[in-house]
Structure 1
Amino acid sequence: MTGLRVVPAWRHGNERLYVCLADGRNVAWYDRDSSRVNLLSEDREEEVLDALAPFLTGQFTVGPPPVPTPAELARLALHPDDDLAPNRPGEALRISLDRDPVPARRLRTDARHRALAAERTVGEALDELEGAGWRVLHSVPLPGGARIHHLLIGPGGLFCVGALAVRRQRVRIADPMVAVGRAEPVPLLRSIRSDAGRASFALTAEVRPVLALAGTGAADLAVAAPPRDVRVLREADLPGLARLGGVLKPADVEALHASARDRRTWLQV
């Protein structure tokens, strides 16, 4: 018996197996994606490999952890209060509902609940892309009270994704106006373009706008003409974004994500 235990965990969609002492301190980890055993203490190599033996398959390398990239160093230096990465889908709406809950006797449903459900649905679909090399940030605050519902960064570029709850209602789009059901049209595409433009300015990179229709089911989508430069995707179409590529290298994705997750990046846009 080595006295070491193996604890599985997930990081950016990739599985890691951490090798820990009895007091919980890590002495090594096995990254399945790179097939590498990273040792924090070289004198424990034999014990670590014994503990990992049931999990090691095929060829693998053993050595000290790689030198942190500039993006990783920036992340380590980021104060927790300025880190947007922990934000859940609809984080701002969750806070709003906690601070100002709906009265128990209110007859009409608070629109914030439908909006939150839409952001959660779209956010969960985008989170699934992390295994394909994408990074996602949710509820990114902008000066003036605006916010980006979801910011997607990956091999196919950067996307500002706005979530819209439709619940199988008819959706009519006549750029820049969007109408859901019997509601009056609103210039939603203009707002999404504006958010994408502000994100482009903050990150000094092209950010493309996307409107994601959440909960559409068999909803009827009527588009007078294809919106200029805005992708309109149903909920079921979101996984298709993972097939896009050829724009950013992995190092670029990590660098942009490190910048975007810093709340201070967005203060002057």
Structure 2
Amino acid sequence: MSALRVVPANRHGRERLYVCRPDGSNVAWYDRETGRVNLLGEDSRDAVLQALKPFLTGPVTVGPPPVPTPAELARLTLHPDDDLAPNRPGEALLVALDRDPAHRLRPDPRRRALTAEETVGTALDGLEGAGWHTLHSIALPGGDRIHHLLLGPGGLFAVHALYARKARVRVADPMVTVGRREPEPLLRRLRAAADRASYALTAEVHPLLALAGPADLTITVQPRTVRILQDTELPGLGRLGGVLKPADVEALHAMARDRRTWGRV
């Protein structure tokens, strides 16, 4: 086999080098992240390795492509309209504000809520490289919504983002008071959302309240089952572990990203 070409590409955030015949058909690809050369035919092994030789760094594994896991198969068969993974932080608010141009002409509390979801969502997305996944803006039947669902080695968390910029926050379970606003039973609603997520995923989901930019936080009594963190503390969740194995995280992520999973809660 001669005249093989090496073509770089980026698929699903992974850098790969494809080895192609002159007609453009693939015979193999090299995944830099895993250090693996995936051969589509054993008879091309020597020619492929010769073509890739200038690009290989360190030891590599050579063999046929690995068999897709059940989670990978679920992702591959999921219709794009049902895939929640592309949702941006605050997706539902972004869509609602885009459909209501008048919000630019008047104060709109949705803009503050959007700022909170974007701030918290960005912090959670930063955990991606540590084996975590985050899904944003999951709609539930009845009009409720989970702002962020965090899945990783330390378990599952239903995260509610609350705008509290430069405000004092007081928590007296189940009431949460931000600045001079009226107290609201936010922790009760957060527990209910986490319970619905647990039912949908058949796995324990913990409620988490994430405060975006508070000036001060007072907790009179540590709330039952609810974790409360400021947005600057969210990266510390990446140190949690020992609850879920990587395969379990991927399987739960595949289930959670399917919009149809949430239609029965």
TM-score using structure 1 length: 0.89
Q: What is the alpha-carbon distance in structure 2 between the residues aligned to residue 214 and residue 51 of structure 1?
A: 51
Q: Is 1:124 matched with 2:122? A: yes
* Superposed displacement of residue 33, structure 1: 3.7
Report if the CA contact (8 A) 1:102-1:110 is conserved. no
Residues 120-172 of structure 1: CA deviation (Å, up to 9, x unaligned): 11111111111111111111110001111111111111110111111121111
Q: Which residue does the alignment assign to 1:260?
A: 256
Q: What is the alpha-carbon distance in structure 1 between the residues aligned to residue 236 and residue 100 of structure 2?
A: 37
Describe how 1:201-216 pairs up with structure 2 within 5 A: 201-216=199-214
Q: Which residue does the alignment assign to 1:171?
A: 169
Q: Is 1:92 matched with 2:92? A: yes
Q: What is the alpha-carbon distance in structure 2 between the residues aligned to residue 134 and residue 103 of structure 1?
A: 35
Q: Which residue does the alignment assign to 1:57?
A: 57
Report if the CA contact (8 A) 2:165-2:212 is conserved. yes
Secondary structure in 2 matching 1:4: strand
- Mark the CA change 1:52 to 1:132 in structure 2 (over 3 Å): closer, same or farther: farther
Q: Which residue does the alignment assign to 2:66?
A: 66
Q: What is the alpha-carbon distance in structure 2 between the residues aligned to residue 40 and residue 55 of structure 1?
A: 19
Secondary structure in 2 matching 1:225: coil
Report if the CA contact (8 A) 1:6-1:51 is conserved. no
Q: What is the alpha-carbon distance in structure 1 between the residues aligned to residue 210 and residue 23 of structure 2?
A: 46
Q: What is the alpha-carbon distance in structure 1 between the residues aligned to residue 143 and residue 174 of structure 2?
A: 21
Q: Which residue does the alignment assign to 2:227?
A: 231
Report if the CA contact (8 A) 1:142-1:267 is conserved. yes
Q: Which of 105, 112, 115 matches 1:114?
A: 112
Report if the CA contact (8 A) 1:2-1:50 is conserved. no
* Superposed displacement of residue 114, structure 1: 1.1
- Mark the CA change 1:54 to 1:80 in structure 2 (over 3 Å): closer, same or farther: same
Structure 1 residue ranges without an equivalent (≥5): none
RMSD value, Cα = 2.1
* Superposed displacement of residue 99, structure 1: 1.2
Residues 14-52 of structure 1: CA deviation (Å, up to 9, x unaligned): x43232658886554333343212233545545543554
Q: Given residue 159 of structure 1, which amino acid in structure 2 is its aligned partner? A: F
The share of aligned pairs that are identical, in percent, is 67
Residues 86-135 of structure 1: CA deviation (Å, up to 9, x unaligned): 111111001110112334432xx211111111111111111111111111
Q: Which residue does the alignment assign to 1:17?
A: 16
- Mark the CA change 1:51 to 1:135 in structure 2 (over 3 Å): closer, same or farther: farther
TM-score using structure 2 length: 0.91
Secondary structure in 2 matching 1:266: helix
Secondary structure in 2 matching 1:213: strand
Q: What is the alpha-carbon distance in structure 2 between the residues aligned to residue 71 and residue 173 of structure 1?
A: 39
* Superposed displacement of residue 268, structure 1: 1.2
Report if the CA contact (8 A) 1:7-1:20 is conserved. no
Q: Which residue does the alignment assign to 2:217?
A: 221
* Superposed displacement of residue 82, structure 1: 1.0
Q: Which of 167, 178, 182 matches 1:184?
A: 182
Number of residue equivalences:
262
Q: Given residue 229 of structure 1, which amino acid in structure 2 is its aligned partner? A: T
Segment drifting more, 65-74 vs 18-27? 18-27
- Mark the CA change 1:55 to 1:4 in structure 2 (over 3 Å): closer, same or farther: closer
Q: Which residue does the alignment assign to 2:79?
A: 79
Secondary structure in 1 matching 2:127: helix
Report if the CA contact (8 A) 1:19-1:51 is conserved. no
Structure 2 residue ranges without an equivalent (≥5): none
Report if the CA contact (8 A) 1:18-1:26 is conserved. no
Q: What is the alpha-carbon distance in structure 1 between the residues aligned to residue 23 and residue 228 of structure 2?
A: 51
Q: What is the alpha-carbon distance in structure 1 between the residues aligned to residue 229 and residue 263 of structure 2?
A: 30
Report if the CA contact (8 A) 2:90-2:137 is conserved. yes
